[in-house]
Amino acid sequence: MESRAINFGAGPSALPASVLQEATKGLLNFKGTGMGIAEISHRSKEFTAYLQSVEQNIRKLLDIQPTHSILFTQGGGSAQFSAVVLNMLARHRLLHPQLTDEDRVLDYVVTGSWSKKAAEEARRMGGSTVNIAADSRKYSKDQKSFDNIPTADAYSFSNDPALIYYCANETVDGVEFSAEENSPASFPFQLLPRNALLPLVGDYSSSFMSRPIPHLSDHAIIYAGAQKNVGPAGLTILIVRNDCIVDVDAAARLGAIPVPICLSYKTLADHNSLYNTPPVLSIYITGLVLEYMLQLGGLDYYAGLTNRKSKKVYDVLKYGENKGIFKGKVKEGSGSQMNIVFDVLGEGLLAKFIAGAEERGMKGLKGHRSVGGIRVSIYNAVTEEETDLLISYMEQFAGQHKVDKE
């Protein structure tokens, strides 16, 4: 293969080179059909069998029980901002037909740009009252920045909400709920209403398949765009508890907002995610990635890899901070393991850092346009060796430059 760049981009992100090589075979001849995966019918026996194997491998990797269905759709996390609201309001309408729209409450935990957008979409759609159960900006120095995960005393959940939403990892802002149960930055599962059918919704797009999902069985819905850790853009994976797959048309007859047919989880479930043409190529490559992950040892392997890579990046960031060259954007203990964000101090040094990285074949390090600085995304396919090259460059850069202090 020609020399490939090291892709630290936030998504679409790096994919394993061996998977890409294998995928080229399927582009020409999928499963001996004589047709490429981009050409074959999504209703062919070869593809439907393949789709079932992708579902089985997701179940195996995340230990998903039969209480939950796995659905495949399109539109990314942004489409789910709407779909989650519509499907969960339909469910709530069927359970509580007598309530007014104002009495149907949606709880949102806002810790970054994506959860903020999700809450805004819920408000835009109407049919409910949106309660911000926690807003991390209140606990930042300027009370404007998403730089922390609130501690447990910051949350105020409703008694019987139609949904409780959180984003596990905020890609733009570089904050993430800890997977450690006793961490101050972990999601406060202990504060949630204790019932068997908790309406908990988790956006796991940026950490999906990097480690086990805490309390997975307690969730009503988990969704993730594939384009971070498991595949190319175009595929959204849903894990939906079976009681949340409801007759949205029956709910509409009772006054719920009508749900577009392709956003209805029941439509997806009833047709095995084949109501319309799914993102066939994205599903194919995702399936190859999942097989590759299983070969390497599954989520135990990737959780260890993620811990090692992120620790190295945060250690060198601390070194650069001591040198006065780097400055982290997130409070200690709240930082993402997938997306590490920081500023490069000194006039012209940010551009110089990015240019130097590109000269060394490191791409995608520029921070999101809304926050600036640097964003290092170390998704599953970014190897430890590639991460070490970045560490070496950051050490060198911090050692070679000096910022004048006034």
Going from the C-alpha of 168 to that of each of 112, 113, 171, 338, 397, the distances in angstroms are 10, 12, 10, 11, 32
Question: β-strands 163-167, 200-203: how paired?
Answer: parallel
Q: Are 259 and 42 in contact (CB under 8 A)?
A: no
**Polymer length in residues for the chain:** 406
Cα gap 90→319, rounded to integer Å: 52
Instruction: Provide the mean pLDDT of the chain.
Output: 96
pTM for this prediction: 0.96
- What pLDDT digit, counting tens, does each position of 148-194 carry? 999 999 999 999 999 999 999 999 999 999 988 889 999 999 999 77
- What pLDDT digit, counting tens, does each position of 200-214 carry? 999 999 999 999 999
Beta-strand runs (E) in 97-212? 105-110, 129-135, 163-167, 169-170, 175-176, 200-203
Cα gap 116→252, rounded to integer Å: 27
pLDDT at position 50: 98
User: Is the pLDDT at 196 greater than 70, yes or no?
Assistant: no
Percent of the chain at pLDDT above 70?
98
Mean pLDDT of 251-266: 98
Q: Which two tokens stand for residue 361?
A: 């074949």
Query: In the chain, what is the straight-line distance between the N-terminal and C-terminal CA atoms, in Å?
Result: 50
Cα gap 102→90, rounded to integer Å: 15
Q: Are 23 and 284 in contact (CB under 8 A)?
A: yes
pLDDT at position 403: 74
